[in-house]
A and B are shown apart, each in its own frame.
Chain A
Amino acid sequence: MGDSLITIVAIVLAAILMFVFPLMAMSDRTDDVSQLAVETATTDFVDTVRTTGKLTANNYSKFVESINSTGNAYDVEMEIKVLDENPGKKTSQATQDKIGENVYYSMYTSQILDQLEQGGNNAAIALKEGDMFSASVKNTNTTLSQQLKNFFYTVTGNETYTIAASHAGIVTTNGTATN
């Protein structure tokens, strides 16, 4: 009796050690690779917008395509802070194009996407020097490593994500809305 019990325990432990642990390690590494790919894609996307001064539907769909190619679903949040002509409260004298003295108003993901969808394939949002653009990406599906972790320790809630990237910066060129 004692022998067979310990054999079963040994078999279970061996199964966990030989199959589940490597699987967990592998899925963790897959997430790491996805994380790196998403970070690179986000940085590239934001930097393209910053250096060209425009956000095109083409660029956006390429970006979404490249992050989705990691095999996960993502939630992309974008924000354009448009440099307004109105001065901030600290300024006594103001020039409309001075960066850093004026207030910003924001355009968020839904507004940006609306504008891009209305324009069709060649849609573009033109930005100007001093505007700020930021994008952040989070995974919405449960990755394999999350599933395994949930199965074993059930510590992760619904709102958690393992793959996330964000990048932001000032726009350095006056863009034109034509492609």
Chain B
Amino acid sequence: MKIQYLAVVFIIIMLPISLILSEYTKGQIQTLQLQISYDSKLDTATHDAVKAYQLNSANSDTSDIADSKIRDIEASINTFFNSISTGFNMVGYNEEILNRYVPALVFTMYDGMYIYTSYNNTLDDSINLKTDSTYKDGEQIEGLKPYIYYSCRYKKGGSIDVVITYSMDNYIQVDGVVNNTYVHRAGYLYNPSDINVISDTRVAYNLSSVHSLPINAESRRFRRKFA
């Protein structure tokens, strides 16, 4: 067989292979590009939502009141969807359409969180509902759920049954029954080994070591003590 034949046969075999491989690589590259662009749009939208919340609460005198906070968060959620629709060039697509594609938005606050997600709406007065009412009983709607505290119930035998509410830093709140007496305590959690008792009314603690302790370690140690 002449070398020209060999060359042509080689090309006939190799060309489709290389074309398919290059198409495959191109597909991979496009997927990555799309992923990056989606990620950046989502990042921008999240940043916008946080920024809107910051600006709204900074410009408001009542931002620490629950009602006002909920309002700020709802405004922030609107901003998120607005930003998403602008980012994806889907002007006119509003929250109701877009929130099908957003499973949940979580706002982690100091001692709890707000979660915006879909839930089954339960109406107490379902018997008296008219057929043309806006909401129906058991309908799945998207909305902001009530505030969820970072709390956990700890129960040990009959002596300890408390609920501890954690926060983003060392502040905790303990409510419940310890040795048949009701306790309600709140304060900053310190490592007992860092505290030196000077007298009955005065203690000294090593603040630097307290701050360097990760919160998780603190709460874990605390949990171990109680559980």
24 residue pairs from A and B, CB less than 8 Å apart: A6-B2, A10-B4, A10-B7, A17-B11, A17-B15, A79-B91, A88-B78, A95-B60, A98-B59, A99-B56, A99-B75, A99-B76, A100-B74, A134-B89, A136-B89, A166-B89, A167-B44, A167-B87, A168-B44, A168-B87, A169-B83, A170-B52, A170-B83, A172-B55
Partner of A7, one of B4, B55, B76, B87: B4
Within 8 A of B (CB), among A108-126: none
Residues 13-27 of chain A: 1 if any B CB is under 8 Å from the residue's CB, otherwise 0? 110010000000000
Tell whether A130 is near chain B: CB-to-CB under 8 Å.
yes
Structural contact, A6 and B83, CB atoms closer than 8 A: no
Residues 82-124 of chain B: 1 if any A CB is under 8 Å from the residue's CB, otherwise 0? 1100110101000000000000000000000000000000000
* Across-interface contacts of B89 in A (CB, < 8 A): 134, 136, 166
Cross-chain pair count, CB within 8 angstroms: 83
Q: Which residue of A lies closest to B43 (CB)?
A: A169
Partner of B8, one of A10, A93, A129, A172: A10
Q: A170-B48, A172-B51 are in contact. Are A100 and B7 (CB under 8 A)?
A: no
* Across-interface contacts of B86 in A (CB, < 8 A): 79, 81, 132, 134, 168-169
* Across-interface contacts of B55 in A (CB, < 8 A): 99, 129-130, 172
Rounded to whole angstroms, the CA-CA distance of A170 and B48 in the bound complex is 6
Partner of A104, one of B8, B47, B51, B82: B82
Closest CB-CB distance, B14 to chain A, in whole Å?
A: 9
Structural contact, A97 and B8, CB atoms closer than 8 A: no
Rounded to whole angstroms, the CA-CA distance of A29 and B75 in the bound complex is 44
Closest CB-CB distance, A139 to chain B, in whole Å?
A: 16
Q: A13-B11, A88-B78 are in contact. Are A100 and B4 (CB under 8 A)?
A: no
Tell whether A159 is near chain B: CB-to-CB under 8 Å.
no
Structural contact, A100 and B47, CB atoms closer than 8 A: no
Q: A7-B4, A10-B7, A166-B89 are in contact. Are A101 and B83 (CB under 8 A)?
A: no
Tell whether A177 is near chain B: CB-to-CB under 8 Å.
no
Tell whether B188 is near chain A: CB-to-CB under 8 Å.
no
Q: 5 closest Cβ contacts across the A-B interface? A: A100-B75, A100-B78, A170-B48, A100-B79, A99-B52
Residues 59-79 of chain B: 1 if any A CB is under 8 Å from the residue's CB, otherwise 0? 110000000000100111111
Within 8 A of B (CB), among A1-60: 3, 6-7, 9-10, 13-14, 17
Q: Which residue of B lies closest to A172 (CB)?
A: B51
Structural contact, B82 and A100, CB atoms closer than 8 A: yes
Structural contact, A98 and B56, CB atoms closer than 8 A: yes
